[in-house]
Amino acid sequence: MTESATSKLLNGDICHRTSNGKKASKNGFVKDHSLFEQPQKYRRPRDKNQNVPHNSSLYKKPFVESFEETPLWVAVLTYMGYGILTIFGYLRDFLRHWNIEKCHVARERDEQKDFVPLYQDFENFYTRNLYMRIRDNWNRPICSVPGAKVDLVERVTRDYNWTFEHTGKVVKDIINMGSYNYLGFAENTGACADAALEVTKMYGAGVGSTRCEMGNLDIHEEMEQLVARFLGVESAMAFGMGFATNSMNIPALMGKGCLILSDELNHTSLVLGARLSGSTIRVFKHNNMQSLEKLLRDAIVHGQPRTHRPWKKILIVVEGIYSMEGSIVRLPEVIALKKRYKAYLYLDEAHSIGALGPNGRGVVDYFGLDSKDVDIMMGTFTKSFGAAGGYIGGKKELIDYLRRHSHSAMYATSMSPPVAQQIITSMKIIMGEDGTTLGADRLRQLSQNTTYFRRSLHEMGFIIYGNEDSPVVPLMLYMPAKIGAFGREMLKRNIGTVVVGFPATPIIESRARFCVSAAHTREMLDTVNLAISQSVESEKRSGGR
């Protein structure tokens, strides 16, 4: 769920005409978050005794993010497209009701019509009438390592995407621009694969128990010590599932009488964890420090509702890289606010750990900050490390508490030994402890690929979102017909990518999301750029059908 274009223009940042070679949209405006370029008149009024965190002195280098406003005519056409699809959806529902058209979708049984409905009406309507029309763009079976290239199992549908049949043919060498394989460690050869194979022979593939019973192996202890050293914290704890790392540990730390301040674009796992905790949740505008500070002030001044007692704990929850927007958290300002108002900070580095910073240590390393300023450091091993699971790092007292109170720690099965070894080997490569420069080379290659790919798309005139250093690159499509057309046209040109639309994004901000990897070569990226250009031209000629 992403913020609308309107809210983006109201979140305290400026929207100005482009200069210095930057391309503008057709309405001539680009939104720029560079702290060094913002005129004083757009900043929050300064109080003589107030240390305003929105200050360029907190940053060691320019912080530039662009979110181009949706052109008015594009927004109008997009709403019209969804309106037409909705009208035809109701018409087809009418035909299904009278058995003129076959109905494939799950629906309530006639004998249960007086009970509370099992299926949400609009969600079911949207699924059967809009999502099904372009369902072939998702859930494609892969039969290879999700590296720089993948092999796809060919499938066909004879009933308009309700069911699929595999033809038995494999489409080889699809350039993979959808997997979170930022450093290229998703591979079946090399040091990581060899080490995981040896550990599998020694320990087997599964543990069959929880950590607190018979599932605590020496390899788990080694991995957690290495993670703590990598993050620069006192202690760390690993979990077998990244989603559960958030959803099961936030309830262990927060509860009734506590306040959670959550960025509006936070991942579903963070949202679920906050809801399960029973805490009061308040949402601030994405990366907007004025909005966050206002919530902090109100929380300190007014306290809890009705009783006005002080909150037991105030926790700020943010992500390092936001996976749908490609933006990077303004961590120096968040830390400044957190210190000023005596709050706690929960940082989710699922996409940023390994992908940002000169040493690959995430957004803290990227800004040159002290990891001790972040109270709870969370991340996953599923992306840059090519493995599975997640971690939480922080003070030893925090980790010891979670070992006794986290549901994920107490009841979930231990991480698979070969997965743990994959994490250890890849992390040592990133840290340079394998005796080679492979980790540094991959970090540098990822940075170069990100810069090159983003610059190429800008020069081609496409509207892309996010920070200039983010390997997550959203390319805006807007109109609903373009979602399916773009994904299909890219696949025809042997490019695998992810297309995203409503409700995962605002209704007028559908997009294709590219994930850049260190495993991509310059030739691959050039091929992708050419395919994007050809796909758009082909879609224009076909009228968006």
Q: How far from each other are the two terminal CA atoms of the chain, in whole angstroms?
A: 26
Three-state DSSP string of 302-329: HCCCCCCCCCCCEEEEEECEECCCCEEC
- Residue 499 has phi, psi (to 5 degrees) of -105, 140
At residue 48 the predicted structure's pLDDT band, cuts being 50, 70 and 90, is: very low
Rounded-to-integer distance, Cα 310 and Cα 301, Å:
9
Percentage of the residues of the chain whose pLDDT score is greater than 90: 75
Give, in words, the CATH class of 66-176+437-544: alpha beta
Closest to 480 (Cα-Cα) out of 67, 84, 2, 71 = 84
* pLDDT of the residue at 198: 96
How big is the chain by its Cα radius of gyration, in Å?
24
Structure confidence by residue, pLDDT tens digits, 101-157: 887 876 777 777 788 877 777 888 888 889 999 999 999 999 999 999 999 999 999
* pLDDT of the residue at 542: 66
List of residues 6+ apart from 170 with CB closer than 8 A: 143, 151, 152, 153, 154
How far lies 375's CA from each of 118, 215, 224, 317, 366, in Å?
41, 28, 17, 11, 18
Mean pLDDT of 155-171: 93
Rounded-to-integer distance, Cα 374 and Cα 382, Å:
22
Helix (H) or strand (E) holding 147: none
Structure confidence by residue, pLDDT tens digits, 61-89: 888 888 888 889 999 999 999 999 999 99
What's 58's DSSP letter? G
Contact assessment for residue 415 and residue 215, using Cβ atoms and an 8 Å cutoff: no
Runs of H (alpha helix) within 254-381:
268-277, 289-302, 331-340, 363-367
Helices 331-340 and 289-302 cross at an angle (nearest 10°) of 10
SS3 471: coil
Instruction: Name the residue type at position 384.
Output: S
Percentage of the residues of the chain whose pLDDT score is greater than 70: 88
- What predicted TM-score, i.e. pTM, was given to this entire model? 0.87
Contact assessment for residue 167 and residue 368, using Cβ atoms and an 8 Å cutoff: no
How far lies 70's CA from each of 42, 263, 289, 510, in Å?
22, 22, 23, 11
* pLDDT of the residue at 371: 95
Strands 376-380 and 510-515: unpaired
Domain 191-431 has CATH 1.20.1050.10: no
Question: What torsion, rounded to 10 degrees, do the Cα atoms 372, 432, 381, 420 define?
Answer: -110
Q: What is the mean pLDDT of the chain?
A: 87
Question: What torsion, rounded to 10 degrees, do the Cα atoms 7, 8, 13, 14 define?
Answer: -100
Closest to 194 (Cα-Cα) out of 429, 353, 520, 354 = 429
Boundaries of every domain in the chain? 66-176+437-544, 191-431
Check pLDDT > 60 for residue 12.
no
Runs of H (alpha helix) within 358-462:
363-367, 396-405, 407-411, 417-431, 438-459
Flag the least confident range among 68-82, 186-200, 427-441.
68-82
